């Protein structure tokens, strides 16, 4: 073979190789584009559009069962591609209780569940502090400190601490300071100690209110009477306006002129609460709750056990009935009886996902949420 023919063949091989490489890149990009759009090949080798479920838990490492099936190495925290439609997700972990929910997967979209909490079944319980004489409890925002007040609640005015403590006279300070005890509840050993003036100021000072959104930001022209409650929120990268005109709920998404949800609740709400990262809005009156779930864009009505409720963490609610402590997800699911002999007088809190604190009569109790 002449050198010219050899050179010609090599040139053809280079051209063919480059063409194959370009074609491979194009096919790969097309496949990735289809995967990102939610398309997948199922077990029957049929192309179907799917969505993705991302799920985590406290504690981490729980086994994830989807529609009754558990895959190898399927744990929280994880993501999984699922066919469009309803799926039952269940989390289990040895020595812990279980958690479950039915989710609706939408094609090409991510469904994120970050809030499931599993509780240790056999929890070590201990008396943390004798709080006899305490009339009021205050907990720091980071759940690491607790203020115990033993004075007259009817005459208590924490507003004086929200101002500079220098405004208080020495006589006033001498009178009120012994009524306060500080507990560090983020410690295995808890001991009460006197409170410094600066600590009271830090506890009760008011933060600067953040700038609120307005109707102008949404470009909407609504016929409002002024009695409506306007709730602005952000969920993922979208901004929402919820108009609550008792008992009607109307939701607008920024960029859309028409409402994306119109709903009605069956009771007269006394309070609304914007949930964690804008994922939900709670409308409530006593034990009655209506949850507007921004993920599913649905309103769910439910009730707690007892006369009223409070927040357990950013996503969970608790209530106490006849001394029994019940916990629920923000949408009323996964109701569990957690503890007994719990007082309704003082708050129930979790510290660093390690301890559960509550009061039994005048005793501060602590339960370990992790194996000791």
Which residues, at least 6 apart from 307, have a Cβ–Cβ distance to it below 8 Å?
Answer: 286, 287, 321
Nearest 5°: the CA angle 323, 327, 333 is 140
Is the whole model's pTM more than 0.85, yes or no? no
Q: What is the pLDDT along the chain (372 residues), one digit of tens a residue?
A: 566 666 666 666 666 676 677 777 676 665 555 555 555 555 555 556 788 899 999 999 999 999 988 865 677 788 888 889 999 999 999 999 999 999 999 888 888 999 999 999 999 999 999 999 999 999 998 899 999 999 888 888 887 776 655 555 555 555 556 788 999 999 999 998 888 777 888 888 776 666 667 788 888 888 888 899 999 999 988 999 999 999 999 999 998 889 999 999 999 999 999 998 899 999 999 999 999 999 999 999 999 999 999 999 999 999 999 999 999 999 999 999 999 999 998 999 999 999 999 999 999 999 999 998
203: helix, strand or coil: helix
Q: Which domains does the chain have, with CATH numbers?
A: 39-113 (2.60.40), 233-340 (no CATH)
Q: How far apart are CA 145 and CA 280, in angstroms?
A: 28
* Half-sphere CA count of 90, side-chain side, radius 13 A: 12
Write down the residue that tokens 């930001």 correspond to.
217
Residues across the chain: 372
- In this structure, what DSSP letter does residue 259 have? -
DSSP-derived pairing of the beta strands 180-184 and 229-235: unpaired
- Category of 363 on φ-ψ map: left (φ > 0), alpha (ψ -120 to 50) or beta: beta
- For residues 364 and 127, the answer to whether their CB atoms sit within 8 Å is yes
- For residues 22 and 15, the answer to whether their CB atoms sit within 8 Å is no
């Amino acid at each position: 073979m002449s050198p010219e023919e050899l050179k010609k063949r090599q040139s053809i091989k280079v051209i063919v190789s480059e063409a194959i490489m370009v074609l491979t890149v194009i096919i790969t990009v097309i496949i990735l584009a289809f995967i990102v759009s939610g398309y997948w090949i199922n077990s029957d080798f049929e192309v179907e559009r799917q969505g993705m479920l991302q799920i985590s838990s406290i504690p981490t490492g729980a086994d994830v069962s989807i529609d009754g099936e558990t895959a190898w190495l399927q744990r929280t925290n994880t993501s999984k591609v699922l066919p469009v439609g309803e799926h039952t997700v269940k989390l289990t972990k040895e020595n812990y209780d279980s958690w479950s929910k039915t989710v609706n997967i939408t094609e090409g979209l991510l469904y994120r569940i970050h809030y499931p909490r599993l509780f240790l079944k056999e929890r070590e319980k201990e008396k943390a502090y004798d709080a006899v004489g305490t009339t009021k409890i205050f907990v720091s925002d980071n759940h690491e400190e607790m203020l115990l007040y033993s004075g007259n609640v009817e005459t208590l005015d924490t507003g004086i601490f929200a101002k500079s403590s220098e405004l208080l006279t020495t006589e006033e300070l001498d009178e009120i300071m012994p009524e306060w005890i500080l507990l560090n509840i983020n410690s295995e050993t808890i001991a009460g100690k006197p409170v410094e003036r600066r600590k009271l100021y830090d506890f009760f000072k008011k933060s600067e209110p953040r700038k609120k959104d307005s109707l102008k930001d949404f470009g909407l022209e609504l016929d409002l009477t002024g009695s409506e409650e306007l709730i602005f929120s952000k969920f993922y990268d979208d901004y929402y306006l919820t108009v609550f005109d008792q008992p009607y709920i109307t939701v607008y998404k920024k960029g859309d002129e028409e409402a994306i949800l119109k709903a009605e609740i069956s009771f007269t709400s006394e309070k609304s609460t914007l949930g964690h990262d804008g994922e939900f809005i709670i409308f409530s009156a006593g034990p009655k709750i209506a949850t507007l779930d921004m993920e599913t864009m649905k309103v769910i009505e439910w009730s707690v056990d007892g006369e009223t409720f409070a927040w357990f963490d950013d996503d969970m609610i608790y209530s106490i009935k006849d001394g029994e402590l019940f916990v629920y997800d923000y949408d009323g699911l996964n109701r569990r009886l957690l503890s007994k002999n719990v007082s309704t007088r003082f708050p129930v809190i979790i510290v660093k996902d390690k301890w559960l604190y509550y009061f039994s009569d005048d005793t501060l109790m602590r339960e370990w949420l992790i194996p000791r």
